[in-house]
């Protein structure tokens, strides 16, 4: 490997995602293994501006694989969007001799990283850390698998009380622009219906579906609502349905930030480790303005510009069909 990178910093930015700590651990230990000095930036881009940058060693990342959230903390930083904020961040990195940066986050994080690397003499590699699974260049983003498991566990418990009381539950999950969590959770939990941002389902269709279930003596119904669907949140939809469909006692559950927390799944621990390992090696080799992502079972690099601008994902046709076929 070419010794053109000597000092590497890692940060997490935007929303936290399970598996970020596994990724931080892999970045730090991979860099140390290859003889680099490693640093952690506390509170993302805000930490760069505030010069909250700490040296890290192999023991700095001990016993963190199982932890949710991020030990480096995260923050949203409007100041980093300004030239003056970026200039200050660069001067802080330069003062410590840091010439490589690994950023873990979503599209907002990558937008800042791309502009920063294009503006200043620093190499940047991105790692997709977001539960939404909405970035081009990777089959799975870090935290997505854990979020789905968290949603399924919650729905399983709600199903118990729904069956006991003959209730209709509307369960809202995260996904402002992406229905990935909602779709997979609906199939894995046996939901009767799912409302997605990408696919229009009229309230008339939904009510017809629920009436069919009632006519076949279903004891309960679960409807998964992605927060970004066109009819609004779960409360709005539940209110509209209740006016025309009074067979069930209607309840609403908003899972909210519950989906972002918790110990990462085995899949996310391994994915975070693989992405951190690959990103650090790529940075050491001199790569920049790239994102490390999972393609099939291989880790490959994608241009940050493509990760941000290309069609980021497509809901699987077979899963969409299954939501109708398996819920009869």
Catalytic residue IDs:
132
Question: Counting beta carbons within 10 angstroms of the beta carbon of residue 303, is it exposed (0 to 12), middle (13 to 18) or buried (19 or more)?
Answer: middle
CB neighbour burial string for 229-239, b if at least 16 within 10 angstroms, e if fewer: bebeebeebbe
Question: Counting beta carbons within 10 angstroms of the beta carbon of residue 225, is it exposed (0 to 12), middle (13 to 18) or buried (19 or more)?
Answer: buried
Q: Distance from CA of residue 107 to its chain's centroid?
A: 10
| Rounded Cα–Cα distance for residues 90 and 220 (Å) | 57
Q: Is 142 helix (H, G, I), strand (E, B) or coil?
A: strand
| Rounded Cα–Cα distance for residues 252 and 328 (Å) | 22
Contact 130, 141 (CB under 8 A): yes
Phi, psi dihedral angles at 182 (to 5 degrees): -60, -45
Q: Kindly state the tokens that stand for 12.
A: 């997490």
Residue 265: DSSP 8-state: P
Q: Is 267 helix (H, G, I), strand (E, B) or coil?
A: helix
| Rounded Cα–Cα distance for residues 98 and 38 (Å) | 9
| Rounded Cα–Cα distance for residues 297 and 314 (Å) | 19
Please report where in the chains the tokens 């969007």 appear, as a residue.
Answer: 81
DSSP 8-48: EEEEE-SS--TTHHHHHHHHHHHHHHTT-EEEEETTHHHHH
Contact 304, 114 (CB under 8 A): yes
Contact 117, 21 (CB under 8 A): no
């Amino acid at each position: 490997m070419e010794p053109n990178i000597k000092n590497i910093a890692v940060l997490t930015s935007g929303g936290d995602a399970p598996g970020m700590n596994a990724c931080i651990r892999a970045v730090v230990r991979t860099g140390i293994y290859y003889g680099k000095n490693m640093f952690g930036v506390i509170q993302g881009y805000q930490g760069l501006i505030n010069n909250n940058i700490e040296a890290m060693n192999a023991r700095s990342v001990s016993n963190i694989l199982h932890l949710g959230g991020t030990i480096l903390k995260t923050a949203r930083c409007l100041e980093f969007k300004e030239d003056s904020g970026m200039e200050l961040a660069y001067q802080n990195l330069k003062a410590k001799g840091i010439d490589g940066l690994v950023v873990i986050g979503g599209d907002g994080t990558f937008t800042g990283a791309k502009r920063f690397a294009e503006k200043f003499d620093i190499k940047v590699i991105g790692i997709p850390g977001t539960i939404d699974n909405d970035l081009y260049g990777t089959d799975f983003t870090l935290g997505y698998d854990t979020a789905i498991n968290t949603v399924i566990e919650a729905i399983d418990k709600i199903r118990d009380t729904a069956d006991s009381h003959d209730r209709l539950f509307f369960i809202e999950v995260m996904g402002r622009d992406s229905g990935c969590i909602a779709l997979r959770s609906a199939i894995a939990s046996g939901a009767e219906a799912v409302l997605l941002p990408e696919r229009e389902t009229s309230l008339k269709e939904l009510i017809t579906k629920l009436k069919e279930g009632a006519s076949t003596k279903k004891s309960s119904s679960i409807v998964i609502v992605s927060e970004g669907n066109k009819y609004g949140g779960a409360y709005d939809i539940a209110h509209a349905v209740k006016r025309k469909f009074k067979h069930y006692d209607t309840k609403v559950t908003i899972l909210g930030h519950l989906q972002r927390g918790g110990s990462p799944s085995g899949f996310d621990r391994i994915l975070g480790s693989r992405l951190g390992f690959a990103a650090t090696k790529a940075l050491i080799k001199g790569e920049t303005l790239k994102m490390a992502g999972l393609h099939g079972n291989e880790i490959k690099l994608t241009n940050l510009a493509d990760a941000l601008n290309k069609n980021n994902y497509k809901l699987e046709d077979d899963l969409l069909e299954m939501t109708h076929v398996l819920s009869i």
